[in-house]
Amino acid sequence: MNMRNLTYGFIFGICLLSCVISCVCAEDTTTLSNNSQSTAVASVCNQPYAICDTAFCIPDQNDPTKMRCSCTVENGSSVGKPCNEWEPVGIYKNEYGEWMIKAGYSVGQITSTYSFVHAAPIEGNEIDPNSTPSDYTGDVYMKSCSNATGDGVWADCWDAPCTVLPQDINADITVDRPASPYAVCDCGLKVNQSEWDIAVHGTDLCDNKTLCNDIIISGASIPTTKVGMNKLATYLKENPGIDPSQPYRAGFCENCTSCASNTSADSY
């Protein structure tokens, strides 16, 4: 699938959902500095969450300063605000591993946080290589973005509220019913940016020189990326096997073995 078709596919999916909808915690916390904005507290929690690290986004129809991003629904260890502030509402995973909307709830509510789910294997970035599944196929890399004129734009999904629809919006609300594996997250819009980080699927997007400025993608400030990644990596190393879906911390594009640009970079 080429880049244009991939982009249109993401945007169509978000538009469709937008029209329809118009815990166990780590005890220690870390203060994040976000480009001189107010600080936030980072906690590692084990509960349902949305991950928007590779999400393409579109402006909210009613508020162009807000972004709608289509993100995947996950369960496990992730880093975000204090755990009791983003407990899931109306959604759970059943014994068959399926996401379900609880009876009496029209939608599920979760929060967008950050994890290493689907991180590409990069030497030296292992969390617990002994627990790596034999069929692990992670391909997500971190990509550094810049805009020389300071006009960069990205979506800020850190701790954003997210809505999960039932797979069948006409299903009987009085019974539990299957949920969508995707959430629509209400993210902020960052403008006038010079440097930020995003995540991408695969080395082809690592080498795309214009991606960061062609499309509005969920991103993070560099200080937030650094502190959040270190926080989660430390937690997973200190609790081996707690989340086997994350055997690797995310590595940066410059450090992957098959990128066209193979210069060294701070891997955070």
Give alpha helix (H) positions in 87-221: 203-206, 211-214
pLDDT interval class at 143 (50, 70, 90): very high
Domain ranges for the chain, please list them: 3-255
130 or 152: which carries more pLDDT confidence? Answer: 152
Compute the radius of gyration of the chain from its Cα atoms: 18
pLDDT in tens, 215-243: 999 999 998 899 999 999 999 999 998 99
Half-sphere exposure of residue 222, counting CA atoms within 13 Å on the CB side? 12
Residue 77 backbone phi and psi in degrees, to 5: -90, 130
Mean pLDDT of the region 4-32: 40
* CA dist 87 → 51, 108, 111, 113, 187 (Å): 15, 11, 8, 12, 18
pLDDT interval class at 65 (50, 70, 90): confident
**105/101 Cα distance (integer angstroms):** 7
Inform me whether the pLDDT recorded for 175 exceeds 60. yes
Alpha-carbon 219 to chain mean position: 9
**209/189 Cα distance (integer angstroms):** 22
Q: Which of 97-101, 134-138, 171-175, 259-263 has the lowest mean pLDDT?
A: 259-263
**134/4 Cα distance (integer angstroms):** 33
Beta bridge partners of 162: 110, 185
Inform me whether the pLDDT recorded for 128 exceeds 90. no
Planar angle of CA 91, 97, 100, nearest 5 degrees: 25
Are 260 and 207 within 8 A, CB to CB? yes
Indicate the length of the chain as a whole number.
268
Residue 228, SS3 per DSSP:
helix
- Tokens at 265, concatenated: 């970079």
